[in-house]
Chains A and B, each alone.
Chain A
Amino acid sequence: MATVQLDHIRVDYDGKTVVHDVSFSVDDGEFAVLVGPSGSGKSTILRTITGYAPIDAGTVRIDGKDVTYAPVRERDIAMVFQNLALYPHLTVRQNWEFPLKAAKLPKAEQAKRVDDVARMLEMTPYLHRYPHQLSGGQKQRVAMGRALVRNPQLFLLDEPLGALDAKLRVEARSAFKTLQRDLGITTIYVTHDQIEAQALGTKIIVLNDGIVQQVGTPETIYDNPSNQFVAGLFGSPPMNLFDVDVSRDQGVLIAHRAEFSIALPPHLDIEGLGSGASTGAVLGVRPESLRLQARPGEDSIAATVFVVEPTGHQLIVDVKIQDLIVRVRADRGEEWIATLTPDEIVHVTFDRRRLFLFHRSSGDRVA
């Protein structure tokens, strides 16, 4: 098993820097997920670990050993590619033997390893088939298997579930999580899907424009996003973000915009904002931190129902405060909520303990 450490990695392509000063470490047996939108540099970072992306600055260490410029085969890495990259001219068994032959393992050992992996992935009946004779889910398992037979010290995956349909994705996801936990292989997984990242990772590394935005556990990332980008990326539906003016009134910060004003709790404090002065900021509130009431109450804001989306036991309700659309996640348990229809008047309250405030210019969170 292994640890991975990236220190101040920079990668340039055609004179443009696509990875800026990226540093993070992955502990032994950890499941790390690199997540970000397309073009955020996540695949490039994975390729610096395999040695396929030319590194312009920084070092890559595997198990403490500097491998920045080491050839791929000295790194003892296994990888699953997005397009799977199965060898179409070889059967499943031959695909799996391929890395074992390179390692010059004895024939009997090769056969034993292949049989073990086939049993683990339930692929024993398909060993003699060619990739084009398999279903999408089976091909996916062949790709996993080719990586697993080697008992690698490090497992890299680049959007490995991308080619599967929604139901298979969820099945493959949990199967893979169990497998990783049982084998305890250090794993780095690339995805653009924040749900997948949260479901799988014990450590999440959020990227945007080639810059690390935040590193943390799924809970930290969700509960304490370090900036507006991270806050907006995680959560489904995403966090509501409103441009507001923040001013200080008798020591209390007030977030104000045309549709509503709200007094901010004491933990959101913009230092150096004097009494009477105001500054632009972004107020964030997750759909589940808003409550709908049938009757007006303390601090409630009147709104009209715009769209109701049932999602199983919960509802996503888009309400309009004047012309501002706000997303609320509501339980269907209360009968009046279950029967909401557009244009009804409701009253919205903010859970003030769960508000986020971001600087408008930098996007950093006001802590």
Chain B
Amino acid sequence: MSAAIPANQVKHRGRRFVWYLPAILITAVFAFPLYWIGSMAFKPARIVQNYPPSFRFSPTLDNFRQVFDSTYPDAMRNSLIIAVGTAVFSVFCATLTAYGLSRHNFRRKDNLLFWILSLRMLPAVAVIVPYSRMVRWFDLQDTYAAMILVYSIFNISFSVWLLKGFFDEIPKEMEEAARIDGYGPWKVFTDVAVPLVIPGIATALVFSIIFSINEFLLAFVLTQREAVTAPVALTNVFITTFGVNWGGLSAAAMVLVAPVIVFAVLVRNHLLRGMSFGQLD
């Protein structure tokens, strides 16, 4: 290997590094909380609250042992069931709704579309009291069904908008061709339209799962024992009247966040394609 690099390439590399610098700084700002949680999760209990913080310590798994000995794993299971249930239910409904809205024109369609989007804009605090009344009327307090229904209100609206964009992109000739080929409307939907929007469906599922895993306020009000989700359990188990168990809290947060991060990294290509409203060839 020759060490001689042309002068202009050196300059080029130098310039590229200049552009990386702000990117690295910005990333550092956003990544710092994750680092902080991660380091606290491995700190022995007696130094967690040291000030100034100790950066050098011998890591321990005690905090994780506490997490798995508590009721937290049950809450994680609840979160998973609710997240997957919400994702499947809301994306199924949204796919049907988005297809209908994409293919048919009718009076006040714009108003309907805006109303659907506005459901997503509602701050949870604004609707939490009526929602808890409604859940009680239906006798669904502290159940998976209640959480899935309430989360779906937010996720259906987002997914409808996302998927309508995808359905709008399908050339109408593609479906006309399928009709001429001898298929009825339902088969055209399932065999032509849906396969073409799979990147959109994947994106909608991922967003829905992330929303449900992260949501705190609605779960805090609408669950008590049986359906408690991980973010709520985080506070129940580790923030007590005797004080805050920082080590346990951090370890629990890591356990919650790590799979989401791994998952997002795995599907990131799909997500990017989804967010750019994946042009069909």
Contact = CB atoms under 8 A, between A and B. Distances in A.
Interface residues of A, number: 22
Interface string A15-58: 00000000000000000000000000000000000101000000
Contact of A103 (B180, B182, B192): B182
A102 B177 contact: no
A78 interface: yes
A85 interface: yes
A99 B178 CA distance: 8
Nearest to A88: B281
Given A88-B281, A89-B196, A81 B181 contact: no
Nearest to B187: A102
B176 A50 contact: yes
Interface in A51-73: 52, 72-73
Given A131-B281, A132-B281, A85 B177 contact: yes
Nearest to B192: A87
Contacts of A52: 176
Contacts of A72: 176, 179-180
A133 to B, nearest CB: 10
Contact of B173 (A83, A89, A150): A83
Interface string B191-218: 1100110100000000000000000000
A132 B180 CA distance: 23
Contacts, number: 52
B174 interface: yes
Which residue of A73, A103, A150 has the most chain B CB atoms within 10 A of its CB atom? A73
B6 interface: no
B22 interface: no
B180 A79 contact: yes
Interface string A72-86: 110001110111010
A6 to B, nearest CB: 18
B196 A85 contact: no
Contacts of B281: 88, 131-132
11 contacts: A50-B180, A52-B176, A79-B176, A83-B173, A85-B173, A87-B178, A88-B196, A89-B198, A99-B181, A102-B182, A146-B177
Contact of A79 (B177, B182, B196, B198): B177
B115 interface: no
Given A88-B196, A89-B195, A132-B281, A83 B180 contact: no
A146 B174 CA distance: 13
A98 interface: yes
A54 B281 CA distance: 30
5 A-B pairs closest in CB distance:
A102-B182, A99-B181, A85-B173, A132-B281, A81-B173
Contacts of A146: 177, 181
B53 interface: no
Which residue of A85, A131, A132 has the most chain B CB atoms within 10 A of its CB atom? A85
B183 A102 contact: yes
A49 B127 CA distance: 53
B5 interface: no
B26 interface: no
Contacts of A150: 181
Contacts of A88: 196, 280-281
Nearest to B175: A85
A78 B180 CA distance: 6
B52 interface: no
B184 interface: yes
A23 to B, nearest CB: 24
Contacts of B173: 81-83, 85
Contacts of B33: none
B259 interface: no
Nearest to B198: A89
Given A50-B180, A79-B180, A83-B171, 18 more contacts: A52-B176, A72-B179, A73-B183, A73-B184, A79-B177, A81-B176, A81-B177, A82-B173, A83-B173, A85-B173, A87-B174, A87-B178, A89-B196, A89-B198, A102-B183, A102-B187, A103-B182, A146-B181
Which residue of B176, B181, B196 has the most chain A CB atoms within 10 A of its CB atom? B181
Contacts of A73: 179-180, 182-184
B84 to A, nearest CB: 25
Contacts of B280: 88
